[in-house]
Amino acid sequence: MSKILIIGGVAGGASLAARLRRLDEQAEIILIEKGPYISYANCGLPYYIGDAIPQREKLFVQSVSGFSQRFNIDIRTLSEAVQIIPERKTVCIRKAETGETYEENYDKLLLSPGANPIVPDLPGIRSEGIFTLRDVTDTDRIKQHMRQHNVEDAVVVGGGFIGLEMAENLTMAGLEVHLVEKAPQVMTPLDPEMANFIHQKMYDNGISLHLCCGVTAFEPDGTAIRVHLDNGTEIKTSMVLLCMGVRPNTALAEAAGLRLGSLGGIAVNSYMQTSDPDIYAVGDAVEIPHMLLQHPVLLPLAGPANKEARIAADNIAFGNHRQYSGCIGTAIAKIFDLHAATVGLNEKQLAKEGIPYIASHTHSASHASYYPASKMVDTKLLFHPETGQILGAQIIGMQGVDKRVEMIAQIIRHKGTVEDLCETEQAYAPPFASAKDPVNMAGFVAENILHDRYRIIQWNEWQKHDKSGTLLLDVRTPEEFRMGHLSEAVNLEVDHLRENLNQLPKDKEIVIYCAIGLRAYIAYRILTQHGFTNIRSISGGYRTYQMAVKKF
């Protein structure tokens, strides 16, 4: 009978424990958890704070007693693993309530220690009213502080997924919210023009955005806190949430002599096995392969952690036979009624890695436009300029964003191309989609670009473009043109283009745009077949350009 010791009882550890028991009824399984709870929904914590999830017990997938009884697992909460001794195959464990330590031996050891919130060494950082959010205990402290001090405002530091979710939920709870972000945008997996859709939504819902701003100090002021920013701004608030990202919790592994990767996470092979063959590791603390890169990444997401745990359990139970193929970073966030999703690589990553790419923007209806309540889906696609392999996608909208990013994710995982997007099948009926789904439309446009049937210029390229020898042609209706247009543009509606070809110069570059790109493509094809050779179109049209250049 084998003895498996698991350190960490949230996503990865609890999943592995349950899977192991289903595979091996005879194994002795011991789960060690530093905190008082196991198997809880830490991704749901912001929604409990904002009362979108009103009942605290809904956060718990399983209680300790229920999990232990169902799976016959020895669960020891409030117990901290303080040392691993690989040569003896033992772990030194400290009981939180008594301070007593003891050793537990193992045949196989699984590490799922997670990650720790980043807390910068700033003046006043330990002041009352400043919190991180990583577990249920953090959540309880935040809720208690809000009740006791009748909190009416808050500062959220950090514009990643947790920061955005906290800003939204605190706003929905009636608080006045400031969000501070050192970068020029929130949600850095998005490229800047796509992130601006989120900035607009936050602005519309009353959140004060402080971009390109870092915190220099926190100053207690009675029951309040003064947050000092590096641009001289000072914000007085009742509560601060630090959402500045996480670092892999590797102290235990490093002290045991396990190899760490180049990014500081625990190094594992494709079997989720560490440098010690009897120790496996999963979750936020490990470096995992990225399917589009030549090196591993840190990806603190619950989905990959659970998949890694399942594979590790199979390998512990039956020997190494299942390999983890890697991740592509599929993720989504809700910001009020806006949904923002990303998969694969963005422009910043592609440029850093030296991977050639083309970017394309499309804007399509979430379902048949004649069926009520259709919403716009804004898509950015990144693909290889020679092979057409899809390298990444970013999707923003109010409906159907999740299913579209998942469709593209499956194509990326199988090294698919823009042609695969064109042929992707979806369930179609007017309430759910269009016969030409937004995913298909993204593929159609990318395919035209790939095969040189359509040449584009990006919004930021047009900003820097020498416009002296270029005619900028707006092919929307005169009514649309009057409502707003690029300052250099000349208006000639696409439906009247053929009878006015003699007004357009063939010896100059012509850059075309419309509202979202479709009419500009039609105009482009008309002109190219009438002898115009130096033509480009602004990718994504006026919608993309207008959003990209907007300042917040």
CB atoms within 10 A of CB 160: 20
Distance CA 237, CA 222 (A): 11
Continuous H helices in 24-130? 45-49, 64-71
Burial 456-485 (b: 16+ CB within 10 A, else e): bbbbbebeebeeeebbbbbbbbeebbeeeb
Tokens coding 374: 């259709």
In the sheet where 535-538 sits, what is the strand order?
Answer: 456-457, 535-538, 509-513, 470-474, 489-491
pTM of the predicted protein model: 0.94
CB atoms within 10 A of CB 393: 28
Distance CA 31, CA 7 (A): 6
Burial 62-91 (b: 16+ CB within 10 A, else e): bebeebbeebebebbeebbbeebebeebbb
> For residue 22, what pLDDT is reported?
95
CB atoms within 10 A of CB 293: 14
Give the angle 509-515-520 at the CA atoms, nearest 5°: 40
Give the angle 406-408-409 at the CA atoms, nearest 5°: 60
> For residue 276, what pLDDT is reported?
98
514 is catalytic: yes
Question: What is the gyration radius of the CA atoms in the chain, in angstroms?
Answer: 27
Q: What is the mean pLDDT of each run of 10 residues along the chain (552 residues)?
A: 92 91 95 89 87 86 86 94 97 95 97 94 95 91 92 96 95 96 96 98 97 96 94 96 95 97 96 98 96 94 92 96 95 96 98 97 95 96 98 97 97 97 94 94 97 96 94 98 96 97 95 97 97 96 96 88
> For residue 38, what pLDDT is reported?
86
Dihedral of CA atoms 416, 419, 421, 425 in degrees, nearest 10, equals -110
Catalytic residue among 213, 243, 327, 514: 514
Contact between 76 and 30 under an 8 Å Cβ cutoff? The reply is yes
